[in-house]
Chain A
Amino acid sequence: MAQVSSMSDGQSSTMKSITLKISRFNPEHDESSQFMEFNVNYEKWTTVLEAILDVKKHFDHSVAVRYSCRQATCGSCGMIINGKPRLACFTKISELDSNVVTVEPMNNFPVIRDLAVKFERLFDTHQKIKPYLIRDDTELESDQKEFLQTPEEVEQYIQFANCIKCGLCNSACPTMATDSSFVGPQALAQAYRYVADSRDKGKDSRLKVIDDSHGIWRCHFAGSCSQVCPKGVDPAMGIQLLRGYMLGFRD
């Protein structure tokens, strides 16, 4: 299936080119994945996603890739780029410093086709930790104000609220690789995000969910999740802070 294609007509002379190796796999009829190679031109600002879309436009429209916002906001375009989980729209070819750029689907996610993976497990675990404010009263009473927070209270969780559910952390996590029931760093960081929110009263029910034989205790401090997070969420720190509640260091 390997193939080399190149595009040279009508490009400016300042353009450089790289070999883009795309992992191709269709579980319906392929035994294993195979790389297809394309020669693509790029500018200083060209992202990996743009290069893939170039391939789709000019060489092979059947390459499967998921994307939407193109600005590191929707969390759709996570993939393994030159061996590391990254957002394709947030990774410039020039920053990779390599003549060959390899793109593969994220690890620890079932492949739908080529670079597109199934997100069901991530959405399920995210939902499991109750990702919303829990309280008995409601803000709907007409003469009341919204629940105000001090800047210090916001500081407690705001970094964790930046999560875009891209799944890169789950893709990098070594426990996720073998434990098919593990909650995963994404959901654990979100459990912390809500538990640490001064407006939330659902701490006990949330801690109960993650205090399971495949819950928070299956994190072994590898820290890979925080290395790959494109939004600076630092899920590993969220997990350790969450552990603090469970070991009685915080309340």
Chain B
Amino acid sequence: MRESTIMKVHYGTALAAVALVAVHILMRLTMGYSESLEYENVLANYKFVPYAIMLELILILLSVHGFNGLRVILLELKQGKMYEKAVSYGCLAGMIGLIAYGSRTIIMTNMGMV
């Protein structure tokens, strides 16, 4: 992929994350923070489909942004053909892995599998 395309995605995910994380924080303000983290409330959040979709979106946005950011840091730290290939594919794998693991939690909880 062209670097400018990747960086457009990087800035886009950052902007979208600001908006969605703001909504996420506002939703959490509906109750005390410790209450938010009680077992029943956490389950209820995941079962409320629009909110679960939003959490999934935040997960994707920040995984893409965070792992691409890590790729940038690592590319600037050290150079070399093999190293750069490993960094790029490694970050892509991390990104996909994190999204898969997070999605699994969201989907399983949403479907009442825990």
Cβ of B2 and Cβ of A214 under 8 Å apart? no
The number of chain A residues with a CB under 8 A from chain B is: 15
**Chain A interface, DSSP helix/strand/loop, else mixed:** loop
Cβ of B14 within 8 Å of any chain A Cβ, yes or no, is no
Instruction: Tell me if A164 counts as interface (CB < 8 A to partner B).
Output: no
Please determine whether A215 and B3 come into contact, CB atoms closer than 8 angstroms: yes
Partner of B79, one of A181, A211, A212, A247: A181
How far in angstroms is the closest Cβ of chain A from B10? 9
The verdict on B44 contacting chain A, using a C-beta distance below 8 Å, is no
- A13 in the interface (beta carbon within 8 A): no
Q: Which residues of B contact A82 (CB under 8 A)?
A: none
Contact of B84 among A182, A211, A213, A218 (CB under 8 A): A213
Alpha-carbon distance between A215 and B7 when the two chains are bound, in angstroms = 12
Is B77 an interface residue when CB atoms closer than 8 A count as contact? Answer: yes
**Do residues A217 and B4 form an inter-chain contact, with CB atoms below 8 A?**
yes
Task: Tell me the count of chain B residues lying within 8 A, CB to CB, of chain A.
Answer: 14
When distances are taken between beta carbons in the complex, the residues of chain B under 8 Å from A179 are 75-76, 79
**B1-17 interface code vs A (CB 8 A; 1 in, 0 out):** 01110111001000000
Across the interface, do A217 and B7 meet the contact criterion of CB distance under 8 Å? yes
If A179-B79, A180-B79, A211-B3 touch, whether A218 touches B8 (CB-CB below 8 Å) is no
Can you give 29 A-B contacts (C-beta < 8 A)?
A: A175-B76, A178-B76, A178-B77, A178-B78, A179-B75, A179-B76, A179-B79, A180-B79, A181-B79, A182-B76, A211-B2, A211-B3, A211-B4, A212-B3, A213-B3, A213-B75, A213-B84, A214-B79, A215-B3, A217-B3, A217-B4, A217-B6, A217-B72, A218-B75, A218-B76, A246-B4, A247-B4, A247-B8, A247-B11
A178-B77, A211-B2, A247-B11 given; name 18 further pairs at CB < 8 Å.
A178-B76, A179-B75, A179-B76, A182-B76, A211-B4, A212-B3, A213-B3, A214-B75, A215-B3, A217-B3, A217-B4, A217-B6, A217-B72, A218-B75, A218-B76, A246-B4, A247-B4, A247-B8
